[in-house]
Amino acid sequence: MATVKLWSDAEVERDARVKAVFDDIRATRKSDFVNNFWRGLAHDAALLERTWASLKAVMVAPGALDPLTKELVYIAVSTVNGCSYCVHSHTAAARAKGLTDAQHGEFLAVVGMASQTNALVTAMQIPVDPEFQVG
Amino acid sequence: MATVKLWSDAEVERDARVKAVFDDIRATRKSDFVNNFWRGLAHDAALLERTWASLKAVMVAPGALDPLTKELVYIAVSTVNGCSYCVHSHTAAARAKGLTDAQHGEFLAVVGMASQTNALVTAMQIPVDPEFQVG
Amino acid sequence: MATVKLWSDAEVERDARVKAVFDDIRATRKSDFVNNFWRGLAHDAALLERTWASLKAVMVAPGALDPLTKELVYIAVSTVNGCSYCVHSHTAAARAKGLTDAQHGEFLAVVGMASQTNALVTAMQIPVDPEFQVG
Amino acid sequence: MATVKLWSDAEVERDARVKAVFDDIRATRKSDFVNNFWRGLAHDAALLERTWASLKAVMVAPGALDPLTKELVYIAVSTVNGCSYCVHSHTAAARAKGLTDAQHGEFLAVVGMASQTNALVTAMQIPVDPEFQVG
Amino acid sequence: MATVKLWSDAEVERDARVKAVFDDIRATRKSDFVNNFWRGLAHDAALLERTWASLKAVMVAPGALDPLTKELVYIAVSTVNGCSYCVHSHTAAARAKGLTDAQHGEFLAVVGMASQTNALVTAMQIPVDPEFQVG
Amino acid sequence: MATVKLWSDAEVERDARVKAVFDDIRATRKSDFVNNFWRGLAHDAALLERTWASLKAVMVAPGALDPLTKELVYIAVSTVNGCSYCVHSHTAAARAKGLTDAQHGEFLAVVGMASQTNALVTAMQIPVDPEFQVG
């Protein structure tokens, strides 16, 4: 189905750079499961390394936003970009980080509301109020 | 600039249904300022009423997600939809609700990261892992 | 502002292929006004010819849908694609073809509603009901 | 496949608020069939109620645009948003409201044409003609 | 699965206009295989003819860009538009035109990078530098 | 206009991490000009560093695709994402790398063609031909 080959664990074992990333994914997530996204990226070790390093810095390292908020932002972006895989994987990640049904329902309401007003604003070509300008 | 007329306060005064919504916006937000979005919607009282009622239920009423998280989700959706007005108005709203520079920077990083992986996933057409399926 | 030069009438006069298209636009629309889109395309005569020929076949020639309905579909597409220019030009075209304020308000409501449910469906990853499958 | 559970009729029966909406959907559409979208929304009664109330007001109540035109606008939005489910469900709805093959072919031509010129305009960054500005 | 019927070769044989296009596709591509896109368009002969004529002029005729570059641009557009079918078909076409794994990996990196910076720019609403303005 | 402050050179001078990135941008591009995108990112040194490091690896370092092809892919993505700033900056970059008017016209034609067929495919929900599946 994919436009690239998804690497099996056996194939990963034979490439030192790819194996190092997979090892770090497993160690970081404390789980043996490595999802298909990384198996697709494995055919380009440099891209795999850069992508994992960025994801680790942005989504795993502690920061100013809590992990669940970051997952919700991730799902919101993925929804509007129409990335079915990403909606699935990050909704699963959000649930693993404690997303409740009530929070999910409210999140859906915000995503729907924003999409609706975005379309209304664009169709009406509303000019930005001076009050919203920075500096 | 807009494709509809933006109603002035004087015009709003002359339409009871529109005035009722504007009054409620002002009372709810405890501010006399009503932004251009509502002035554009004013030409269709029914759409104005429904949109404000929904926004109030979703974004103003207390719920399972904190108000700042909801604003960040709103900005994320607006960014991917390319709605300049909405990015401006909801970033201003988020700052008013306490968004710090550090949080904004981290939010931007998540939005950028998600957009990047969304594109990679779609270009590789990665199939959803069975582990991400619900039920 | 544009990434290409917009041809003036004087420049159009000096290129026979471009001039022929501009002449046909003016004759077809019974107006001397030629909007910026065509002036931008003028730097590639082949693309200009093909684009105008298609637009004429799709939007000008009589067909199974009435002209106003086609303009509304055009604005809907342009809105979701975030094409400010196109929203402006086709809303103007729709008004010239008789779009009333009431129809415009209702059109906006549909565009907003569809955008909202699109986002909800994608965020929930709703599977297609067998009842909607053709054949 | 979905990121939420789709409620069966038995589950709907056990929740009075959800049941009331499902009953109204069935009564309004004069059909026992309730599609998956509503079954996904059922886990959040408030969102379900608001969404159905809006859809009924926008798409079912008589207005200034005929029902088929509204469905075409809905499909156009859904297409550009890449919502496969929505394209399926609203194309089915349009056919039920009388969409002919000739009309569908012409609709497709408009959607394709608009998408093409949207992209050309954006890539050329064409400035809005003053003639298209409102008032 | 489709919202239109996909025409079989037998059905194509019975319609002279459609058959002429299919014959030209086969002759141009020097292959008997005609993919589903054209079978879906077959129900509207005029749209089929125009679409094939444009595709032939843009993608098949020799021009200023090499064929592989054009396929990469095509896949990039299709990725951001979330068109799964188009990503599949044009990645296959690019491979047939010589796309190597190294080139594909680098292409993916560019698509991901652009998507990331696009989102960052939009979320920050960066104004265009005067240096980038034409003329 | 932006939702973040754009750092002036004086402000950059006062932050060692930001200054190091700006110095490297200037050295790499052999130009004193640093465009607004980087001035917006300057408020988050970590995001600035990561973004510049990625851009340098993807767009500046020699690879399997020539620099002009990469710029065209970048503009294509930016166009569909509706990022006006990015279309401007990367079209300028492409011209600096030798893009001719004829190549630009052909590029526009491909972007328009792809957008058109993407929309047609999505509206018809064409299933992927087995011939396009990998492996």
pLDDT band at C135 (very low <50, low <70, confident <90, very high): very low
The CATH code of domain B64-126 reads: 1.20.1290.10
Q: What is the DSSP string of E16-41?
A: HHHHHHHHHHHHHHTSS---HHHHHH
Out of C54, C90, C126, whose CB is closest to D85?
C126
SS (H, E, C) chain B: CCCCCCCCHHHHHCCHHHHHHHHHHHHHHCCCCCCHHHHHHCCCHHHHHHHHHHHHHHHHCCCCCCHHHHHHHHHHHHHHCCCHHHHHHHHHHHHHCCCCHHHHHHHHHHHHHHHHHHHHHHHHCCCCCHHHCCC
Picking from A50, D77, B118, the residue whose alpha carbon sits closest to that of residue E118 is B118
Flag if E5 and C54 touch (Cβ within 8 Å).
no
C97 part of contact set with chain B, CB < 8 Å: no
Range B81-105 average pLDDT: 97
Chain B residues within an 8 Å CB radius of E87: 122-123, 125
C87 part of contact set with chain D, CB < 8 Å: no
Range D120-133 average pLDDT: 94
Flag if B133 and D1 touch (Cβ within 8 Å).
yes
F133 part of contact set with chain D, CB < 8 Å: no
Chain E residues within an 8 Å CB radius of C46: 57
Burial of E97 per CB tally in 10 Å (0-12, 13-18, 19+): middle
Distance CA A108, CA C68 (A): 34
Tell me if D35 sits within 8 A of D55, measured CB to CB.
Answer: no
Tell me if E80 sits within 8 A of B119, measured CB to CB.
Answer: yes
| Same topology between domain A1-61 and domain A64-127 | yes
pLDDT of residue B133: 77
Flag if A116 and C115 touch (Cβ within 8 Å).
yes
Chain E residues within an 8 Å CB radius of F110: 58-59, 65, 70, 73-74, 77
Out of B2, B46, B50, whose CB is closest to D134?
B2
pLDDT of residue F129: 95
Chain A residues within an 8 Å CB radius of D51: 112
Cα R_g (chain C), whole angstroms: 19
Distance CA E92, CA E85 (A): 11
Out of A80, A120, A122, whose CB is closest to C119?
A80
pLDDT band at E135 (very low <50, low <70, confident <90, very high): very low
Range B53-62 average pLDDT: 95
Tokens matching residue A65: 């936003």
F46 part of contact set with chain B, CB < 8 Å: yes
C81 part of contact set with chain F, CB < 8 Å: yes
pLDDT for residue A28 is more than 80 = yes
Distance CA F104, CA F109 (A): 9
Out of B47, B81, B82, whose CB is closest to C108?
B47
Tell me the torsion sign for CA atoms F79, F83, F88, F94: negative
Chain B residues within an 8 Å CB radius of F82: 82
Distance CA E52, CA B40 (A): 42
E112 part of contact set with chain B, CB < 8 Å: yes
> For the segment E26-40, what is each residue's pLDDT rounded down to a tens digit?
999 999 999 999 999
Picking from A130, F50, D131, the residue whose alpha carbon sits closest to that of residue C91 is D131
Out of B1, B50, B135, whose CB is closest to D5?
B135
pLDDT for residue D135 is more than 70 = no
Identity of the amino acid at D134: V
> For the segment A98-124, what is each residue's pLDDT rounded down to a tens digit?
999 999 999 999 999 999 999 999 999
Chain F residues within an 8 Å CB radius of B91: 3
pLDDT for residue F135 is more than 60 = no
F113 part of contact set with chain D, CB < 8 Å: yes
Chain A residues within an 8 Å CB radius of D77: 119
pLDDT for residue C134 is more than 80 = no
pLDDT for residue B135 is more than 50 = no
Report, at the CATH architecture level, how domain F64-128 is classified: Up-down Bundle (1.20)
The greatest distance separating any two alpha carbons of chain B, rounded to the nearest whole angstrom, comes to 59
Chain E residues within an 8 Å CB radius of D76: none
The greatest distance separating any two alpha carbons of chain A, rounded to the nearest whole angstrom, comes to 59
Burial string for C43-68 (b: 16+ CB within 10 Å, else e) reads bbbbbbbbbbebbebbbeeebebebb
Range D29-50 average pLDDT: 97
Distance CA E108, CA B124 (A): 8
**E strand or H helix at F26, and its extent?**
helix F16-29
Flag if A120 and C113 touch (Cβ within 8 Å).
no
> For the segment F66-89, what is each residue's pLDDT rounded down to a tens digit?
999 999 999 999 999 999 999 999
Distance CA F40, CA F45 (A): 11
Picking from C56, F110, D115, the residue whose alpha carbon sits closest to that of residue E54 is F110
Chain A residues within an 8 Å CB radius of C119: 79-80, 111-112, 114-115
pLDDT for residue A18 is more than 80 = yes
Distance CA C113, CA C107 (A): 10
Instruction: Kindly identify which residue of chain C lies nearest to residue E53, measuring between CA atoms.
Output: C50
F77 part of contact set with chain B, CB < 8 Å: yes
Chain D residues within an 8 Å CB radius of A91: 3
Out of C4, C43, C81, whose CB is closest to F82?
C81
**E strand or H helix at C101, and its extent?**
helix C101-124
Chain E residues within an 8 Å CB radius of A51: 112
Flag if D64 and C105 touch (Cβ within 8 Å).
yes
Residues 6+ apart with CB under 8 A from C99: C68, C71, C72, C91, C107
Distance CA C70, CA C58 (A): 9
Superfamily of domain C64-127: AhpD-like (1.20.1290.10)
Mean pLDDT of chain B: 96
Report the SS3 class of residue E59.
Answer: helix
F91 part of contact set with chain C, CB < 8 Å: yes
Test mutation, D6, D72, D89, D118, chain C, max C CBs within 10 A? D118
Test mutation, B90, B108, B126, chain F, max F CBs within 10 A? B108
Q: Is C22 left (phi over 0), alpha (psi -120 to 50) or beta?
A: alpha
C87 part of contact set with chain B, CB < 8 Å: yes
SS (H, E, C) F43-107: CCHHHHHHHHHHHHHHHHCCCCCCHHHHHHHHHHHHHHCCCHHHHHHHHHHHHHCCCCHHHHHHH
Quote ipTM for the complex. 0.96
pLDDT of residue E134: 64
Range A78-94 average pLDDT: 97
Instruction: Kindly identify which residue of chain C lies nearest to residue F83, measuring between CA atoms.
Output: C82
Question: CA end-to-end span of chain E, whole Å?
Answer: 49
Burial of F66 per CB tally in 10 Å (0-12, 13-18, 19+): middle
Distance CA F3, CA F6 (A): 9
Report the SS3 class of residue D4.
Answer: coil
Query: What does the domain layout of chain E look like in residue ranges?
Result: 1-61, 65-126
Identity of the amino acid at D91: T
The share of chain E scoring above pLDDT 90, in percent, equals 96
Picking from D71, D117, D116, D118, the residue whose alpha carbon sits closest to that of residue D95 is D71
Tokens matching residue B51: 């949109």
CA angle D77, D82, D85 (to 5 degrees): 90
Picking from A27, A22, A62, A70, the residue whose alpha carbon sits closest to that of residue A42 is A22
Mean pLDDT of chain C: 96
Tokens matching residue C10: 């004087």
- Domain E65-126 class in CATH: mainly alpha
Instruction: Kindly identify which residue of chain F lies nearest to residue A49, measuring between CA atoms.
Output: F54
> For the segment E94-128, what is each residue's pLDDT rounded down to a tens digit?
999 999 999 999 999 999 999 999 999 999 999 99
Cβ-Cβ pairs closer than 8 A, B with C, add up to: 26
Chain B residues within an 8 Å CB radius of F43: 101, 104-105
Range D114-128 average pLDDT: 98
Could you say which of 2.40.30.10, 1.20.1290.10, 1.10.230.10, 3.40.190.10 is the CATH number of the domain covering D63-126? Answer: 1.20.1290.10
pLDDT for residue D54 is more than 60 = yes
Tell me if C86 sits within 8 A of D114, measured CB to CB.
Answer: yes
Flag if E108 and A47 touch (Cβ within 8 Å).
yes
A80 part of contact set with chain C, CB < 8 Å: yes
Tokens matching residue A18: 């790819």
Classify domain F1-61 at the CATH topology level: AhpD-like (1.20.1290)
